Structure formats: C-alpha cells, structure tokens
Structure 1
Amino acid sequence: MDKQLIAEAAEKVEIVDIYLYSSAVNRHDEIHQDNIPEGMVQQDKLAVTVDLLEPVEPEEENADSLLRARIDYGVRFVLLPESGSESSVHVLAELTACFAATYRYRDGLSEAAISEFMRYNAVHNTWPFWREHALRMSAEARLPRPTIPLMKPVD
C-alpha cells in the first residue's frame, strides 16, 4: 500500500455513489444455520475491477471524469477433502455480492494513484455494505452466520 499515492488521489477524488451491483445466494446441499456439518469451513473472496467512465462534461477542458470500482465479495461454506486438495472441495452454500462505488475526479491524476486508491479506498468504502449484506442475507436464507472481520488493508 503506497500511502503517498493514496493521499495524492484522495485530494482529487470524491465519492458519488455506492450501490449493490449484483448478489446471489446459492445452496448446493441442505445446510441450515441449525444443521452445520462437521468439518465445514468458510472461504472468502475479494476482487476489485475498475472502469474508467466518460467525462462528466466531455466538451470542457479539465472536465471531471468518473471512475467506477466494482468489488466482488463472496463467502462460501465448504467441506475440504481429507487429502487437503482444495481443487476438490465440496461446496455446501455460497453468498456473493458485487458493490459498485462511483467516484468523480479531475484529470491529471496518475494511473498509479488511481490504481492504489481503488485497491485500498474502494474496498474500504464498500466493506461495511458487504458486512451488512452478508450477515442479513445469511440470516434470511437460514445459512450459518459467516465471519466477516474488520476490513484490513490489501497489501
């Protein structure tokens, strides 16, 4: 994490919106919050995609531009094989969500600053939405309660 690049971007970027882009709950086996198989473990997913959107006012010089980060989160409950091979895990249930965060920025921001800002700040901004969504959806689906820890910076 390059704090100097993040600070450079933070001076020129402002958040416009955060919204749920997509979401799914899939149950592959009869798993229930009151029926947790022995040996079940939780696996987590986190991936960030950045889209450069059109300038807000394309005819003007130094026009504001928009960035959208899509952050894919996921948690799945699995049974690992006894041999420890992760390629043949048995997936019991999974919960996924993608949150989109839109930012406005002035031209002149380096790609390195944008990349570092998005890698850290977009996750930081959407993490509370993911935590609430994962806990609420698992409760509604009567799935085991996932462990969604405090957000830690991505190295």
Structure 2
Amino acid sequence: MSTADSTLLQQAVAGLRLHDIVLYESHFVHGEPFPEAEELAAVQQHKRGVSYRVTAFGSEEAAGKRLQVVVSLGERLVDDDSKDEPTIYFGVEAEYMVIYELVTDVSEEALHVFSNLNAVHNVWPFWRQHVFDLIGKARLPPLQIPLFSGGADG
C-alpha cells in the first residue's frame, strides 16, 4: 500500500464506525456433474467487486450520514478457465452490505480506499464461513478460501 493510500485509510478509519454487516444476496449453483477423478482438471476462479455510496438518515434535527458498501464475492470450480464458456461444476456468490456511520467528514478518496480494503476485510470471515457451510451441506469438494490478504485476489 502506498503512503498516500495509508494516509487516506487512516483518515477513513478515524471518521467511520462499523454499524452492521448484512448478507444481502446469495447464489449457489450446482452445475455439471463431475467427471471421473482421473479426468478432472478443474480450476477455481475468484470474483471480487466493491461499490459504495453515502446516504443520509435520521430527522433534520438528528441527521447523520452512513457509508453503505456492497462487497460482491464469488468462487467457482470450472473445467478450464482458458475457455470463453467453461463448464461450471459448482459455484457460490454472495453480496454483503456493510454499513458504517460517518462520525466526521471523510474525503471521497479516503472512502474509496477504505471501501476496497477495510470493508472487504470486515466481510471476509463471514464470506469464508458462508462458502464452507454451503459447500459442506452440498457434499462437494472444499474450495480454498485463503485468509484475506488485501490484494485484488483476496
């Protein structure tokens, strides 16, 4: 992380308080049956996206602002990720809404850096548990969900 991003992140951390983390949407797909183990050359693919907005809440006398961050995550097992349309064996996707209260003014740049790092970090343990629970209940081979590293790949 650059020094500038680190400074922006500290500004956001000082001005925001975590209010709630909500599983907003979830999708599980059990696609094509697995081929025989000797023939299986599966590849795990990852998805991660972040969007955010600032909203107002409360009455005029007690108005406040909230940062709402939607974190979209996904994992799927496919036959070959070099194809345009790979065969999907199974996959899990979820969107989480993370709500923070703004306790001081925070710049747009700081909100951007914070949303892409801290909001994903806040969601990550919920995401890992969600994937492990669904895959276990479906009796599918486990997917590898690493500890959150902060990189673009999670």
User: In the alignment, what sits opposite 2:137?
Assistant: 140
Q: Give percent identity, aligned residues only.
A: 31
Residues 66 and 102 of structure 1 are in contact (CA less than 8 Å); yes or no, is this contact kept in structure 2? yes
* Matched AA of 1:44: H
Q: Which runs of 4+ in 1 moved over 6 A?
A: none
Q: 1:133 to 1:44 in 2, by over 3 A?
A: same
Please state if 1:29 is matched with 2:32.
yes
Q: Which stretches in structure 1 are left out of the alignment for 5+ residues?
A: none
Q: Which stretches in structure 2 are left out of the alignment for 5+ residues?
A: none
Aligned residue among 124, 146, 151 for 1:154: 151
Q: What whole-Å deviation, never above 9, does each CA across 1:76-96 have from its counterpart, x for those lacking one?
A: 11001xxx7331311111111
Q: What whole-Å deviation, never above 9, does each CA across 1:94-144 have from its counterpart, x for those lacking one?
A: 111111110000452110011111111000100000000001110011122
* Matched AA of 2:89: L
* Matched AA of 1:26: V
Please state if 1:129 is matched with 2:131.
no
TM-score, normalisation: structure 2? 0.87
User: In the alignment, what sits opposite 1:13?
Assistant: 16
Q: Residues 55-134 of structure 1: matches in 2 within 5 Å? A: 55-57=56-58, 59-60=60-61, 63-80=63-80, 85-106=82-103, 108-134=105-131
Q: Considering only aligned residues, what root-mean-square deviation do their CA atoms show, in Å?
A: 2.2
Aligned residue among 44, 48, 51 for 2:50: 48
Query: Match of 1:22, SS?
Result: strand
TM-score, normalisation: structure 1? 0.86
